[in-house]
Structure formats: structure tokens, C-alpha cells
Amino acid sequence: MNNNELLRQVEERARLWLSPFYDEAIRKEVQRMLDNDNKTELIDSFYKDLEFGTGGLRGVMGAGTNRMNIYTVGAATQGLSDYLKESFAHLPEIKVVIGHDCRNNSRLFAETCAGIFAANGIRALLFEDLRPTPEMSYAIREYGCQSGIILTASHNPPEYNGYKAYWDDGAQLVAPHDEAIIELVKSMKHESILFDGPQELIKPLGEETDLKFIEMVKTISLSPDLVKKYHDIKIVYTPIHGTGVKIVPMALRAFGFTNIINVPEQDVVSGNFPTVVSPNPEEPAAMKMAIEKALEVNADVVMATDPDSDRLGVATRNLKGEFVIINGNQTALLFIYYIITKMKENGALKGNEFIVKTIVSTELITEIARKNHVDYFDVYTGFKYIAEVIRENEGIRKYIGGGEESFGFLPADFVRDKDAVSSIAMMAEIVTWAMSKGKTLYELLMDIYLEYGFSREKTISVTRKGQSGAQEIQQMMTRFRTNPPRKIGGTPVHLLKDYELLVQTDLLTGETTAIDQKTTSNVLQFFTTGGTKISIRPSGTEPKIKFYFEVHDQLKSYEDLESVESSIDSRIDAIVNELGL
């Protein structure tokens, strides 16, 4: 399609949004874009429909088919409503939980969705104010609901919002439900959306749900005696303007911690995230103010949550006494190591326990499980796949923890998505466990490396926006798939895993075997004979392609750390250059 034809089609789609069906603010915004001589914004807003994918919706807010607004959100909700009515026609009443974060328009979108569910005869349990994603997930099962949604764009910049849909187990949608709903949403005409249902079908959820959720969080404690002994450790916590502002301190206090120090500027609930460029605890800039507060008060640990409180960031003092952010692989290692070791100490490991990690997360997690005779599962990126394994093993095996490299962990199965609320409470407990051994959290992490081997990870995200960006990302995947590297960092690549084909190939022998996954995913992995792992995947929620690097070495003592890290960093940098990134 040439540019003139694309512009003609875009303008034709945009003019449909000038009809009286759409509200006045939307019509004015569309007219402004049509009148603008520069058509870039118009094209990006209308060149396609905002895709309701396996992760729901996520995009820039504004007018247009490729934007988050009450009509694109409404189409998703109407499609979900139709599917729920079909799937649960045998029930006397269908119920859905609705939550939202602090983002601009999140409350508007949540109330709009409640009205649509009600108009479809579905009871909407709408949180009275912003709440964390894990609490929404918990509420689905607690109140016997058939579905749930949360309005959030997680850690994306302020111009974004998003919509995630959940099933009756409290987990995000998986096949076949996601595929069926996607088809319904794709064919949904905005004129078919039923807005403004009866208010009597909308029930508010408030403090009573918070208290129930916190009671469940308390049950995950494995060392209440240590918490009691070290209850006054100094914990600096920041919600980065998001939903954790009340519930995370509640969880810490419920565990027994009494010295929680906040960052007042970041306790301000705001979708503009005024103190950060991006509200992502993975990024040092987002943790800067909390670390400055920690230095001021001589804190023991710093913790943060993203806007919807499903991801956690942790900073602790390194061997030099400097506060550093430990990455998502390292937090997952600490959780898994602590849970397994402490359960063994408590005589609670019965032999039927299991953990779950994502395929791009560090292989050291698998090593810990294997050496401790705990079953483990590798799944695709996304906690819905971890939740799927939990559901399939209910009544057979006991879930004790699961995580992914992108700062998400789930320590207990009363939630079925990433849970930073419970995780932060448990991480504070891990700090007390380390203290009881005369160690810092960082030294505990070093002990894991000394016992199980050392790994260093790095993730590079390449952003390519718009239509041309999506094409470029696809071309990159095609190039790596059809012409895989034979050597990486001077070491032969012996294994290629292609999850789109569900085939793994031994590049040294040419032998191929099937990959045991139920569905395909556009992910490539390369494993070298030296233990290096490289994973490549386009993001499912952002215009990015991600490269995950994991390089292994041996750490013999604390004193060797700096030289080992330096050596691995040089190797990773060389690989990055080799791949042309």
C-alpha cells in the first residue's frame, strides 16, 4: 500500500469518528488531527485497530481506533461480556471484579466498564478507588466471580493506559478463552456497545476487601519469630505515585514490621508521575529518591512498586556499603532460595512442591530447585502461564513460588498474577533471616552464587514505534530465525530453541526435537557450549524487541566478585556488539 492510499483509508476511518455517536471531546480531537497538515499523528491514531491481544489492551490514550479511549475499552468490555454470557449461561448471576490504578482516565475507564457489564446484566464489583492488581486477582476467587479486569498500563510512561482481563481462577486469560474473546472484540462495532447499565448491578468494594487480602498476605510468613526479633529494621518504601501507597505499608505492618519510612513526594497519587520519567522500579532513576531517603536515614533495605503494584524493586547495600538495585533475576533467586531453604528448616517440604519460572529468567533458579529435589516448570513470559501451571497442578502438587526476570514474583497462590504486595512483605522477612545469620541481603545473594554458580544478566530493549517499527521488529526476528549465529562470544552455539515452531535444534549435530509447550510463541533462544543463553522476543504490550543475555562463571569468594563481574560484563558487551545492537 502506498502512502497516498494509506492516508486515504486513515482519513476515511477518522471521519467515521465525527458522527454524533462519539462524544464531543473525541470529535474535536479527531477534527484537529484531520485539519493538521502533518498527518503523522492521524495515521498513528487510525492506521489500525488497537489490538486486544493475549495481554489485553495497552496503548497511548486519545482519540482513534489505535488509542485507549472509552470506545476501544468499551469494545473490549462488550466482547468480554458476550463471551461471559455464553460461557456461564447456566449461572443465575455472572459477576466481574473491576480494578484500576492511578493513571489518568483509569477511573473513567473503570466506571465505563462497570456500566457496560451492568448493561449486559452482569454484576460489577467495582473497587471504590485505586487498588493493586494482585488484590483484584484475589477478589475474583474470594467473591466467586467469573472474570475480572484491571485498568492499568503497569510501568509504561504517563501517556499510556491498558486493560487486562482475567478468568474465574484469578489469572489472566489463556487459551481457549483469550482467542475466543479476541475474535469477538475484533468484530465488535462501537454501535453495538451497551453503555450505562443499571446502578443496582454495580457494587462498590472497599476496606473490607483490603482487610481480607491482608489476612491472606500474613499467611505466607515463614519466620514470624525473626520478624518479631527484628521488627524495627528500617524499610524505605515508595509506591512511585501508584496503588501501593496504602496497601503495602498495611501488609508490612500486618507482618509485624514497625519502622516503615516513606518518600512523601512519591506518596502523591498521580497518573502524571511527577517525580520520575518512567514509574518503573527496574530503572535506577525511578528508585533514586527512595535510595536518597535510605542514605539519609541509614535504612536496611529500599523497596518500591510500580503503579499497579505487581512488580517490586529492591535496593540493598553492596559489599562496598553502597545502595544498589538488585535485578529481577536476583530477587527471584532470593525468594526461591529462601522459601525452599526455610521450608526445609521448618520440616514443611513434603516432596510434592513445585516452582515456576519463565524461559527468559536465569537458569540458576532451576539449579536451586533441582539440587533441592523440588519440581520446576519453564513457561513463556507472562504470569498467566505461571498461573496456568498452578491451576493444572491444584490438588496434585503444592505451589511454593514463581517469578520472572522483569521484577515480578508470586509467593503464594491466593493471587494468580505478579504480587508485589505479598512479595515486599516476604522480602522484608528475608532481610531479617539474613540478619539472623549476621549477613546483609546482598551477602545472602552472594552466598547463593557461591553455592550454585554465578550468573550475570542484561536485557536490551530496542524500541521501534508505529507501523514501520512493527515491520522492522518482524524483520529482525526473521533474520535471526533464518540465519542463526553459529558462534556467540567466540563460543559455538550448540542449541537453538524456536518457540514459534516448537522445535529445538542441536546446531552441532543437526538433530531436532520437539519443545514441550502447549502453544507457540515468537521467541528464539540460543545456548552456547560455554553456558551463555540469549533470548530474543518482541514485547507483547509495547513496541519493543527484547534481547536477554545470561552469562555464567564461577565465584569462589566475595573478594572475586568485582573481577568476575567485570569479566562477564566485557563478554556481554562483546556479544551485544557482535549482534549489531
More confident residue, 485 or 134: 134
Taking 80 as the threshold, does the pLDDT of residue 542 lie above it?
Answer: no
54-205 has which CATH code? 3.40.120.10
Name residue, grid cell 513434603: 350
Q: Give domain 454-578's CATH architecture.
A: 2-Layer Sandwich (3.30)
Name residue, grid cell 469494545: 75
Mean pLDDT of 567-574: 92
> Would you list the DSSP string of 521-553?
-S-EEEEETTS-EEEEEE-SSSSEEEEEEEEEE
For the chain, what percent of residues have pLDDT higher than 70?
Answer: 99
Mean pLDDT of 333-351: 96
| Per-residue pLDDT reduced to its tens digit, 134-147 | 999 999 999 999 99
Please indicate whether residue 106 is annotated as part of the active site.
no
Contact predicate 432/223, CB 8 Å: yes
For the chain, what percent of residues have pLDDT higher than 90?
Answer: 88
Considering 107-116, 172-181, 183-192, 545-554, the range whose residues carry the highest mean pLDDT is 107-116
For residue 551, give every residue at least 6 positions away whose Cβ sits within 8 Å of its Cβ, in sequence order, or none: 455, 456, 457, 489, 531, 532, 568, 571, 572, 575
Name residue, grid cell 536518597: 292
Taking 80 as the threshold, does the pLDDT of residue 182 lie above it?
Answer: yes
Taking 80 as the threshold, does the pLDDT of residue 2 lie above it?
Answer: no
| Per-residue pLDDT reduced to its tens digit, 405-419 | 989 999 999 999 999
Taking 80 as the threshold, does the pLDDT of residue 465 lie above it?
Answer: no
Q: Using pLDDT thresholds of 50, 70 and 90, give the confidence band for residue 580.
A: confident
pLDDT at 235: 98
Lowest-pLDDT choice from 238-252, 280-294, 310-324, 450-464: 450-464
Q: Which of 137, 154, 406, 422 is catalytic?
A: 154
pLDDT at 541: 61
Lowest-pLDDT choice from 13-27, 350-364, 539-553: 539-553
Fold agreement between 54-205 and 454-578: no
Taking 90 as the threshold, does the pLDDT of residue 467 lie above it?
Answer: no
Taking 80 as the threshold, does the pLDDT of residue 466 lie above it?
Answer: no
H/E stretch holding 221: none
402 vs 383: CA distance, rounded Å: 9
CATH 3.30.1280.10, domain 213-452, yes or no = no
497 vs 184: CA distance, rounded Å: 33
Mean pLDDT of 171-197: 93
Mean pLDDT of 488-514: 94
pLDDT at 540: 66
More confident residue, 175 or 421: 421
What residues does each domain of the chain span?
1-47, 54-205, 213-452, 454-578
117 vs 401: CA distance, rounded Å: 34
Taking 90 as the threshold, does the pLDDT of residue 116 lie above it?
Answer: yes
pLDDT at 1: 55
Contact predicate 405/457, CB 8 Å: yes
Q: Using pLDDT thresholds of 50, 70 and 90, give the confidence band for residue 547.
A: very high
Range 313-322, long-range pairs (CB < 8 A, 24+ positions): 313/281, 313/282, 313/286, 313/287, 313/407, 314/427, 314/441, 315/287, 315/290, 315/291, 316/431, 316/440, 316/441, 316/442, 317/440, 317/442, 318/442, 319/442, 319/443, 319/446, 319/558, 319/561
The overall average pLDDT reported for the chain is 95
575 vs 457: CA distance, rounded Å: 12
| Per-residue pLDDT reduced to its tens digit, 68-106 | 999 999 999 999 999 999 999 999 999 999 999 999 999
Reference 243, options 29, 36, 418; nearest CA is 418
> Residue 145 gets which letter from DSSP?
-
Q: Residue 490 corresponds to which amino acid?
A: G
Q: Using pLDDT thresholds of 50, 70 and 90, give the confidence band for residue 304.
A: very high
Mean pLDDT of 480-507: 93
Mean pLDDT of 50-58: 87
